[in-house]
Amino acid sequence: MFKLSQKVKSLPPYLFLEIDKAKRKARQEGRDIVDLGVGDPDQPTPSHIIDRLYQAASDPLTHRYALDQGLLGLRQAIAKWYNNRFRVKLNPETEILPLIGSKEGIAHFPLAFLNEGDYTLVPDPSYPPYKGGTILAGGRPYLIPLKEENKFLPDLKKIPFNIRRKAKLMYINYPNNPTGATAEIDFYREVVDFAKKNKIIVISDLAYSEIAYNGYRPSSLLEVAGAKDVTIEFHSLSKTYNMTGWRIGWASGNAQLVSALAKVKSNIDSGIFSAIQLAGITALEGPQQHIKDICQLYQERRDTLIAGLQSLGWQASPPKAAFYVWLKIPKKTDTSASLSVGGEHSRATDSIKFSALLLEKAGIVVTPGIGFGKYGEGYIRMALTISKERIQEAIERLRRIL
């Protein structure tokens, strides 16, 4: 009876929802599921952050509308954190905007700059809101392949000149979801040069900067000289402090870009609950030992999973950062199982078939690579957000069925 807009019709299906349906169905059938699917930290938020939320929520002054631009104290804490972590100086008055999780800012940002038919350069595979936010703003995603032979970095030289002229935005995400790839300063310099020459805004998604292993320290794009001229960078407390459900993050960088996003948001929401902002200050300014502890925990899980997969004959390499393992599907596999997914995934690609096989035959949930874009086909993603014991259980189940 009701007709969807063309923009909504153009959106690819959000595969995580389909996977969640399949998980619920399996659990309703009484099956024991090992969930290596969605990257949602399984550890609790540190207690001192929870205590601050409780105290702040008990104050009636926090129950009113929050300021759209966020508490000055939070913006100052973010500026201090950026300077300590990356030696990047940000003006808390003009260059930082708190968000209801970085996802909403990433998805809303194209509304500020895209006109109908403008292009966004979107890495593929990638976090789905890059493409979705572009489509909802009336833009056209131009997919830049992230290929294994190029270490899952985009080859900017291969982007056609006519696309560069039409492109307004470009998404960059390292440490990368879903591949776990990392980028170094030399690559970031190339990105900044490319953006300046082609008058393109760079949207840097830095959500996984603090999840890294063996002493590796990811960089910020804003560390590059002149990057602030063309860059808005998004960050989040979700992964660093196990606060995915709290919905608190921020945008920072070029003041004009931050201001434009703030204008969009002022017409969409009324800011983050003030008590959560105060707890966010405590997270950034409080004890940081927790970060070392969770990185050690994820590293142990990573090593357990990689060793297990290698023992099965899979070509698996340990990521330097983020908490995902990106794997090629074994070539000789019976993928006769099916996963009910609509839209562009109704082709029942190999990654969907293989993921369905693991769920049906072994009770293991993974994410099909096609869910992150067409160049993700042939891969699956496994998340390290379950215990080492459950990872070992997954390996034994794989050993039985493969």
List of residues 6+ apart from 294 with CB closer than 8 A: 41, 43, 211, 242
Backbone angles phi, psi at 97, to 5 degrees: -135, 110
Whether residue 258 contacts residue 251, with contact meaning beta carbons closer than 8 Å, is answered with: yes
Contact call for residues 242 and 44 (beta carbons, < 8 A): yes
H-run or E-run covering 186 = helix 185-198
Q: Which residues pair with 326 in a beta bridge?
A: 381
Q: Can you tell me which residue has the tokens 């067409």?
A: 374
Q: What is the pLDDT of residue 349?
A: 80
pLDDT at position 38 is 83
255, 91 Cβ separation under 8 angstroms:
yes
Question: What integer pLDDT is reported at residue 341 of this predicted model?
Answer: 39
Question: Which pLDDT score, from 0 to 100, does residue 268 have?
Answer: 93
The DSSP code for 356 is H
Domains of the chain (ranges, CATH numbers): 6-43+290-401 (3.90.1150.10), 47-285 (3.40.640.10)
Q: Return d(Cα 164, Cα 161) in angstroms, integer.
A: 5
Which pLDDT belongs to residue 82? Answer: 98
Phi, psi dihedral angles at 133 (to 5 degrees): -65, -35
The kind and range of the H/E element at 235 are strand 231-236
Place of tokens 């459950």: 390
Q: What pLDDT score was predicted for residue 372?
A: 95
Query: Tokens representing 353?
Result: 């078939």
Q: Which helix (H) or strand (E) holds 163?
A: helix 161-166
314-324, pLDDT tens digit by residue? 989 999 999 99
Residue 267 near residue 242, CB atoms below 8 Å:
no
Q: Is the pTM for the entire model greater than 0.75?
A: yes
Q: pLDDT, tens digit, for every residue of 227-239?
A: 999 999 999 999 9
d(CA 144, CA 156): 8
pLDDT of residue 79: 98
With beta carbons less than 8 A apart as the criterion, state whether 188 and 223 touch.
Answer: yes
Query: 3-class SS at 80?
Result: helix
- Which pLDDT score is estimated for 273? 97
Q: Which two tokens stand for residue 29?
A: 């059938």
- Torsion over CA: 125, 341, 401, 394 (sign): positive
CA distances from 379 to 40, 83, 330, 361, 387 (A): 20, 37, 9, 19, 23
Provide the CB-side half-sphere exposure for 12 (13 A, CA): 21
For the chain, give me the number of helices (H) and strands (E)? 14, 12
Beta strand 364-365 pairing with 34-35: parallel
The pLDDT of residue 332 is 60
Strand order in the sheet with 324-328: 324-328, 379-383, 367-368
Token couple for 306: 């990689």
Distance (Å, whole) CA 78 – CA 293: 22
Query: What is the Cα–Cα distance from 214 to 7, expressed in whole angstroms?
Result: 44
Task: Please say whether the beta carbons of 363 and 401 come within 8 A.
Answer: no
Q: Which amino acid is at 218?
A: P
The Cα 199–Cα 179 span in angstroms is: 28
Give the torsion through C-alpha atoms of 315, 320, 322, 327, to 10 deg. -10
Residue ranges of the chain whose pLDDT lies below 70: 15, 332-348
Of 137, 140, 131, which Cα lies nearest the Cα of 111?
Answer: 137
